[in-house]
Amino acid sequence: MPLHTQVDESSQDEELNVNPVYVQEVSWEIPRYRLPEHSTLPRTALQIVRDELILDGNARLNLATFVTTWMEPEAELLMAECSAKNMIDKDEYPQTAELERRCVNILSNLWNAPPGSEATGCSTTGSSEGCMLGGMALLWRWRARRQAAGLDATKPNLVMGSNVQVCWEKFCRYWQVEPRYVPMVPGRLHLRGAEAAAKCDENTIGVVAILGSTMDGSYEPVLEISQALDRLQAEQGHDVPVHVDGASGGFVAPFLQPDLEWDFRVPRVASINASGHKYGLVYPGVGWVMWRTPDALPEDLIFRVNYLGGEMPTFALNFSRPGAQVAAQYFNFVRLGHQGYRRVHQTCQDVALHLSGEIAKIGPFELLTEGKDLPVFAFKLRDDVTSYSVFDLSERLRMRGWQVPAYTFPADLTDTAVMRIVVRNGFSMDLANLLLSDMRLHVRFLEHHPQTQPPPEIQQMRQSFKH
Ligand SMILES: Cc1ncc(COP(=O)(O)O)c(C=O)c1O
């Protein structure tokens, strides 16, 4: 054994370096909106924050969101292990970059990219960023075409249904593109081919087709829209590409409607986005966007980052981002495979169809969709039911924690108020039946207790549901 000797006098008072977060201070006063002067014990801080959050709704009973609210414990563990990895540090975390590459390849297959087309894509924070990148590629390509032909390139427009998600309105405002909305009308609640083509001209950078309208879960007919644009090109010469916003459907159609032609099988589809965190079954924070060929993605939108002594092309709006969601997406692909995704989504669809069928039988409701496309459906009160509204029912369902949103449709159909139910993994048939019995009960209550109009400020709050 080695012998040790007492250190000399001058070293006796040397101190250990203690990580500042190990210091345990006790503090009773925590200002609500300013940074506290002192630290708090970690357990105390945890309890304080948890206490604040108990008023949040129960995520599993949230039938409003499309976003994943349950993952397996193994996925949660993996995400915790990867949450410190920065997606942008390709050099430091080359295997996370490799998992992203595999996911892009898996998706290019699921979305039927033609063999050898070199379909190119990346992960994003969600579909909003995917849509923004898809829209930018359309804009850049249109501008380059116009400039090369010596034509005016200052008045771009984008054609879409008024049922688009707000991210497209954002895209148009941020990039000064004129949004050309095709309004919803009774009996046509999403974009169709003829209406889309009629809005296009030489300044149209593209048409957005939504695979799974946020409003009612219905698929827009990508093939029909595309064929209408083929005719437009033959007649007027405008070659208008299609971007498919497959936020939800991009992860549903390949499993539930494999024969539906909505993806790169349709030649006019230039790009597709989808949310990994919706029916890709990952917790919030991941989306995907893919272009049919490398030239659908203009070179001057691409930035190169250091990667293993070389350069890796990137296209993103933000820089740092956790790697956890991408690892979790790959986990799901490995864990579920084609069969597993199909089983999960089929179960959701069975529940959605059961729910919509039973809701139709209650009496006062009219279904707008049934859940045959996405496992999502919308319904309204029959026109002759005037003594209460879907907002009243939505509020009463809250009493047991059910979150079923009620909202009005966009411009031209703002008089139509609907409820929408999004069935996700984890919303079982048992839960569906419990919801049904509560709905029957509340409908009976409302029929016997006609509701009065609440004051305007409450009405305003009721309609402020955002998709
Ligand atoms: C059709 C559609 N596009 C885009 C989005 C935005 O997606 P994200 O929340 O992933 O940004 C949504 C969200 O519901 C959507 O339904």
Which is it for strands 417-422 and 406-408: parallel, antiparallel or unpaired? antiparallel
For position 291, what pLDDT does the model report? Answer: 98
**Are the C-beta atoms of residues 246 and 212 closer than 8 Å to each other?**
yes
The rounded Å distance from CA 316 to ligand 1 centre is: 17
DSSP string, 111-122: TTPPTTS--EEE
Structure tokens at 294: 């490398």
- Cα-flanking dihedrals φ and ψ of residue 157, to 5°? -135, 160
Mean per-residue pLDDT for 97-106?
Answer: 96
* Residue 402 pLDDT > 90: yes
For residue 15, what pLDDT band results from cuts at 50, 70 and 90?
A: confident
The rounded Å distance from CA 225 to ligand 1 centre is: 21
Strand segments (E) across 195-300: 204-210, 242-245, 269-275, 287-291
The rounded Å distance from CA 127 to ligand 1 centre is: 5
The per-residue pLDDT of the chain, averaged, comes to 92
Is 434 strand, coil or helix? helix
* Residue 239 pLDDT > 80: yes
Q: What is the largest CA-CA distance in the chain?
A: 96
DSSP state of 3: -
Indicate if ligand 1 lies below 6 Å from the C-beta of 211.
no
Cα 376 → chain centroid: 14
Mean per-residue pLDDT for 172-192?
Answer: 94
For residue 463, what pLDDT band results from cuts at 50, 70 and 90?
A: low
pLDDT > 70: percent of the chain: 96
Structure tokens at 373: 């496309």
Which is it for strands 365-367 and 376-381: parallel, antiparallel or unpaired? antiparallel
* Residue 439 pLDDT > 60: yes
Sign of CA dihedral 48, 54, 59, 64: negative
Which is it for strands 365-367 and 310-314: parallel, antiparallel or unpaired? unpaired
For position 334, what pLDDT does the model report? Answer: 98
* Separation CA 99–CA 458 (nearest Å): 48
Strand segments (E) across 227-351: 242-245, 269-275, 287-291, 303-307, 310-314
Ligand 1 pocket test target in 62, 66, 271 with most atoms within 8 Å of CB: 66
Indicate if ligand 1 lies below 6 Å from the C-beta of 356.
no
Angle formed at CA 323 by CA 320 and CA 329, multiple of 5 degrees = 135
Ligand 1 pocket test target in 62, 125, 128 with most atoms within 8 Å of CB: 128
Instruction: Give per-residue pLDDT as tens, 348-357.
Output: 999 999 999 9
**Are the C-beta atoms of residues 245 and 206 closer than 8 Å to each other?**
no
* Residue 243 pLDDT > 50: yes
The rounded Å distance from CA 166 to ligand 1 centre is: 8
Give the Cβ contact number of residue 357 at 10 Å: 13
Is 361 strand, coil or helix? helix
pTM for this predicted structure: 0.91
Ligand 1 pocket test target in 208, 216, 275, 373 with most atoms within 8 Å of CB: 275
**Are the C-beta atoms of residues 141 and 298 closer than 8 Å to each other?**
yes
Indicate if ligand 1 lies below 6 Å from the C-beta of 247.
yes
Indicate if ligand 1 lies below 6 Å from the C-beta of 286.
no
For position 27, what pLDDT does the model report? Answer: 63
The rounded Å distance from CA 128 to ligand 1 centre is: 6
* Residue 322 pLDDT > 80: yes
Give me the amino acid identity at 159: V
Mean per-residue pLDDT for 195-206?
Answer: 98
- 128 Cα nearest atom in ligand 1: 11
* Residue 274 pLDDT > 60: yes
**Are the C-beta atoms of residues 422 and 376 closer than 8 Å to each other?**
yes
For position 464, what pLDDT does the model report? Answer: 47
For tokens 């820089």, name the residue. Answer: 319
Indicate if ligand 1 lies below 6 Å from the C-beta of 128.
yes
Indicate if ligand 1 lies below 6 Å from the C-beta of 214.
yes
Cα 38 → chain centroid: 39
